[in-house]
Chain A
Amino acid sequence: MVRTAMADRDDALARLERELRSPAPAGVRAVRAGDLEHLAAAIAEARHRQAAAIGAAAERGLRFVPRLLRGPVRKMVGG
C-alpha cells in the first residue's frame, strides 16, 4: 500500500517535471500525488489554451491587415 502511494507520487512528480522541463523546487516535491497531478494538468491546460488562442488570433488579425499587405504578412506568419 505504502509502495503504491510512493509510486503514485513518483509518477505525478515525473509528470509535473515533464511539464516544467526541469526539476520541481524542493518544497513542491513534498506535495501529495493528487495535487502534483492537478498542478501538472493546470500547466498543460494553460499551454493548450495559449496555442489555441494564437491560431485563432492569427486568422482574426489578418482581417485588420490592409489587403495589399495580406499576402506578405500571411507568408511571414506561415499560414
Chain B
Amino acid sequence: MTRFAVRAEIMKLAQLLELEATELGYLETVAADDLRRLREQITDVIYDSGSHALGRLASASRLLPTSVVALIGEHAFGPMLAARIAGLLDPARAAEVAAKLPTPFLAEVATHLDPRRAAEVLRRMPPDRIAEVARELTAAEEHVTLGRFVGHLPDEAIGLALADMDDLTVLRVAFVLEDTEGADRVLALLDRARLERLLDAAKGTELWPDVLELFAGAPEPWRSQVLGARVA
C-alpha cells in the first residue's frame, strides 16, 4: 500500500460522492485496493440506480438529430447526467454529440464520467479533441479526473495531453493513475529529457517523497540511470 495510492482513492471517492476529501479522512487507514473496490461498488450502485430512467431517455434521443441531443445535454441535463447517459447511447452517435459540445462542458462531463462505461465513445473521439479536454482539466487542476482516464485513452491522445502539461502536473496525474499499467504507459510516452525535467522540477518540493515512492517501482535500467543519481 502506498500513501499516495490511498490519498488518490479517497480523492476519487470524494469526487464521486460530491464530498470534500477531508470528509472521508476516516478511510486513510484502509488499503488502496479495498478503497478502489469500494469506489467501483459505489459507482455501480449510482449508475444502476438511474439506469432505467436514463435508458428511456437514451432511447428517446434516437428520435432526435445529434445537434438537438447536444443542446439538451448541455442545457437541460448538465454535466453529471450527460456523463451518466453517455455510456447508454450508441457509441458512434455519442461521439457525434460530443463533437458538437463545447470543450469546457466536456471537461465537466469528464469529472463525472466512469470511463469504463464510455470506453467505446472515448475510442471514437479524435485524439486532438481529447487533448483539448485534457488541457481544460489541467487548467482546472482536475488531476484525479485526468488520472482516471489514462487507462482508457489511446497513446496518441495521452501523448498530446502530456506534451501540454507542465512537469508538476504530469507528476500529480501520475500519483492518481488507476494502476501500475497506466504508470508504465505514461513512462513509455515520456522521453528521457522530459523525465529528467520532471524529477528536477519535483526535487525540493513537497512532491519529492511521493515521487521517490512512485518511481521506486519503475523498471531497470531506467530507475538506476534517471532516479539513482538524484537520490544519491
Q: Do A and B belong to a common assembly?
A: yes
Could you list which residues of chain A lie within 8 angstroms of chain B, going by C-beta atoms? 19-22, 24-28, 30-32, 35, 38-39, 42-43, 45-47, 49-51, 53-55, 57-58, 60-61, 63-66, 69, 72-73, 76-78
With known contacts A20-B42, A49-B18, A64-B76, A69–B34 Cβ distance under 8 A? no
Which B residues contact A (CB, under 8 angstroms)? 16-19, 23-24, 26-27, 29-31, 33-35, 37-38, 41-42, 45-46, 49-50, 53-54, 56-57, 59-60, 63-64, 68, 71-72, 75-78, 80-81, 84
* Residues of A close to B26: CB separation below 8 A: 31-32, 35, 38
Task: Tell me if A73 and B63 are in contact (CB < 8 A).
Answer: yes
Given A20-B41, A53-B78, A61-B72, 17 other A-B residues pairs in contact with their CB atoms under 8 A: A24-B41, A25-B34, A25-B35, A25-B37, A28-B38, A35-B26, A35-B27, A43-B42, A43-B46, A46-B42, A47-B50, A50-B50, A57-B76, A60-B75, A64-B71, A77-B57, A77-B60
Listed A/B pairs (12) with beta-carbon separation below 8 Å: A25-B30, A25-B33, A43-B17, A46-B46, A47-B45, A47-B50, A57-B76, A61-B77, A63-B76, A65-B64, A66-B64, A69-B64
Closest chain A CB from B223 CB (angstroms): 29
Q: Does A46 contact B81, Cβ atoms closer than 8 Å? A: no
Question: Contact: A53 with B80, CB < 8 Å?
Answer: yes
